[in-house]
Structure 1
Amino acid sequence: MNITKNTFGELNSENVYSYSLENDHGMKVTCITLGCIITDIIVPDKNGNHENVVLGFDDIDSYLNDSPYFGTIVGRVAGRIGNAEFELDGKQYSLPKNENNNHLHGGPEAFDRKLWAAKEFQHDGEVGVEFSYCSPDGENGYPGNLTVHATYVLTNNNELKISYSATSDKKTLVNLTNHTYFNLSGNLKNDILSHKLQLKSNQFLELGENLLPTGEFLEVDNTPFDFRNSKAIKEAIEGNHQQIQIAGNGVDHPFLLNDHHNEEITLVEEQSGRKLTVETDEQSVVIYTSNMMDDSFEIRGTQARKYLGICLETQGLPDSIHFPHFSPCVLDVNEEYKTSTTYSFSVL
């Protein structure tokens, strides 16, 4: 196993570094200090061909100007906060609005656009990078000086393990996720509509017209959102369900997970034979089928378009600060936010 450090580019006169983690089987994960972005995941198909299975760019400008959160850590709070405001211990907080009337993925110039400190390491059977960032009190409207760590570990079992931790000196909100777009066809040969998804989930969150949760948990039975048995993404989208239409003719919904660290999320692309298994301790996963992606930019020579990638965003429920019956995303002083997700790659 080995790790290679290179200069990826420059931001505000500071170097942006890339770290390429490689195991003994040729699986390779490359990430950069800008936003902890995963730029590449190289894995074999059923014939042993190694190809990239995530969406990303090769330069800083594209990430700053075109990226819909490709590969990044988003925070302090993933997803939308309605009306860009919340109340905590009787105090009202206003956040910047960066998606209509909402606050999305931590706001403008959030974790995805920060330069993180990085420390590489290597142990028996694994190699990794620990990223860290100190978010000052008041950044994007959030209270508390928040110290965040995100650690990426590659194992010899073709697993990418992502773990998060955070502490704050004031009560605040935290709900982190990684926003990688996966496409298992390899090097964007096809879109993700024929990918087959399976979820251990009986319920999903209903969304309103503004893509905010209504607070209602809906049963997946007899809906396009029933992925308890593996089915192609296009089957869900073709269902013409009202919730599919609301999300731009696709999926952009939180699913409650029935199980944890037990193959609760699987994604398969049969032509390449690649399989991705996701296991987490998080309560839910937001499945996003890139329905909002426009064609105004290119991704390494491929024209961007809808359904080119799928995000599997393991996290707490979005906008939970406004719904007492959701699990809270409140982090108290002297508490530690801690969660992890493992992405395992294999072939059929």
Structure 2
Amino acid sequence: MTSSSEARVERAPFGAMPDGRTVERIILRGAHGFEAGIIPYGAAVQSLKVPDGAGGIDDIVLGHDAFDGYLARRQYFGATVGRYANRIAGARFSIDGTQVTLDANNGPNALHGGLEGFDRKLWRIESVAEQGEPAVVLTYVSADGECGYPGRLDVRVIYRLTGPMELSMIYEATTDRPTVVNMTNHSFFNLNGVLSSTNILDHHLMIPADHFLAVDATAIPLPGPPASVADTPFDFRQMVAVGARIRDNHEQMRLGRGYDHNYCLPAGDGVRLAARLEAPQSGRVFELLTDQVGLQFYSGNLLDGSTSGKGGRLHRQSDALCLEPHAWPDTPNRPDFPSARLDPGEVYRRTIVYRFATASG
């Protein structure tokens, strides 16, 4: 694989694990300067360079310039999270009458797979393709009982450029025992660029969801049906600035310190629009498409300036936001929610698409 700047795929060492294993970075290049940098540690999006309305190109996702930053502190920047993204109440659930006990790593709850989730693993580079649509395939084998989850889970993530400025992610998994699976990408976005010294409160967001999941003080969905977004700060059915209502005196905004809630996406078949984000300053437009049933919107509430990222910048509250398509939180304990169960002989397969454009076209 050539390392020429003209290559559609570039591979180069990015760092090393504590045990000496090399961590590469694979860069997939599209059109107009668009490129996605992928690292097998956490099967993560390390960089995402996107042109703006004036033709400039900026990296729009939080992360680190050097690999040591990913090891130093767990922040999920760009990572593939699993086995179960988001929270499971009490770090436990039952499956076929058997009680399963998980790592409690978020107060009393299990979050993003546990203490050593998929974001903390070095995945294997199965293949890299330059011809046709540039792509990289990463695999990981999660042992039976890892972080408490039952069954051996064989997982794959396929990153592929499926358009001039479009990155698609396909998540696949099989198991040898009944289990639960819920994977997503945890990128933090700022469409003005991560070095722009701006926050995301003036970004305009649309989420085509009529309902969201209200949560308790530990971010677990409340009993009962999903709540209507109507007449609340959670109504993003029309484009509205992220910061327009983020300081409204609403109980759910107090509990989350802003937005950190699951939106119940409309039912439908196949990949469909789940969110649209626009940045007036840069002119970048981001459409997120998925076949998932939920979308977690997180407005970067807990970024507190205690750590630095690319360019040595300190990340503070609302410097970036997350849009994470996945199953609803605590589904294994909620038979009234869409199931996240996976049985032997079945294939878990979910798709996320990041599609970019500029306001000028």
- Find 2:210's aligned residue among 196, 202, 207: 202
After superposition, the C-alpha distances for 1:107-159 in whole angstroms (9 at most, x for unaligned) are 011100101111211342x1010110000111111111100000101134311
Letter paired with 1:242: E
2:267 and 2:167 map into 1 onto residues whose CA distance is: 20
Are positions 1:268 and 2:278 aligned together?
Answer: yes
- Find 2:349's aligned residue among 328, 333, 338: 338
Distance 1:29 1:136, change over 3 A: same
2:8 and 2:235 map into 1 onto residues whose CA distance is: 41
- Find 1:257's aligned residue among 262, 265, 271: 265
Structure 1 residue 59: Cα displacement: 2.2
Residue pair 1:254, 1:284 contacting (<8 A) in 2 also: yes
Are positions 1:10 and 2:46 aligned together?
Answer: no
Residue pair 1:68, 1:293 contacting (<8 A) in 2 also: no
Are positions 1:297 and 2:298 aligned together?
Answer: no
Distance 1:159 1:99, change over 3 A: same
2:344 and 2:117 map into 1 onto residues whose CA distance is: 22
Residue pair 1:25, 1:156 contacting (<8 A) in 2 also: no
Matched residue, 2:107: 100
Cα-Cα RMSD: 1.2
- Which blocks of at least 5 consecutive residues in structure 2 are unaligned? 1-6
Structure 1 residue 263: Cα displacement: 3.0
After superposition, the C-alpha distances for 1:296-335 in whole angstroms (9 at most, x for unaligned) are 1111221111111111100010110111110111101111
Matched residue, 2:59: 52
- Find 2:234's aligned residue among 209, 217, 225: 225
- Find 1:285's aligned residue among 290, 295, 305: 295
Q: How does 1:296-315 map to 2 (within 5 A)?
A: 296-300=306-310, 301-315=312-326
1:130 and 1:97 map into 2 onto residues whose CA distance is: 31
Letter paired with 2:298: Y
1:41 and 1:97 map into 2 onto residues whose CA distance is: 32
Letter paired with 2:15: G
1:238 and 1:73 map into 2 onto residues whose CA distance is: 30
* SS in structure 2 of the partner of residue 296 of structure 1: strand
1:209 and 1:24 map into 2 onto residues whose CA distance is: 45
2:194 and 2:300 map into 1 onto residues whose CA distance is: 17
- Find 1:35's aligned residue among 13, 32, 42: 42
1:141 and 1:262 map into 2 onto residues whose CA distance is: 33
- Which blocks of at least 5 consecutive residues in structure 1 are unaligned? none
- Find 1:151's aligned residue among 154, 158, 179: 158
1:95 and 1:181 map into 2 onto residues whose CA distance is: 26
After superposition, the C-alpha distances for 1:84-115 in whole angstroms (9 at most, x for unaligned) are 11111111111111111111100011100101
TM-score by length of 2: 0.93
TM-score by length of 1: 0.97
Matched residue, 2:123: 116
Letter paired with 1:279: L
2:245 and 2:158 map into 1 onto residues whose CA distance is: 34
Bigger mean CA offset, 153-162 vs 136-145? 153-162
Q: How does 1:65-76 map to 2 (within 5 A)?
A: 65-76=72-83
* SS in structure 2 of the partner of residue 343 of structure 1: strand
1:94 and 1:264 map into 2 onto residues whose CA distance is: 32
Structure 1 residue 238: Cα displacement: 2.1
* SS in structure 1 of the partner of residue 213 of structure 2: strand
1:41 and 1:137 map into 2 onto residues whose CA distance is: 34
1:312 and 1:34 map into 2 onto residues whose CA distance is: 21
Q: How does 1:20-31 map to 2 (within 5 A)?
A: 20-31=27-38
- Find 1:322's aligned residue among 301, 314, 333: 333
Identical residues among aligned pairs (%): 37
- Find 1:139's aligned residue among 137, 142, 146: 146
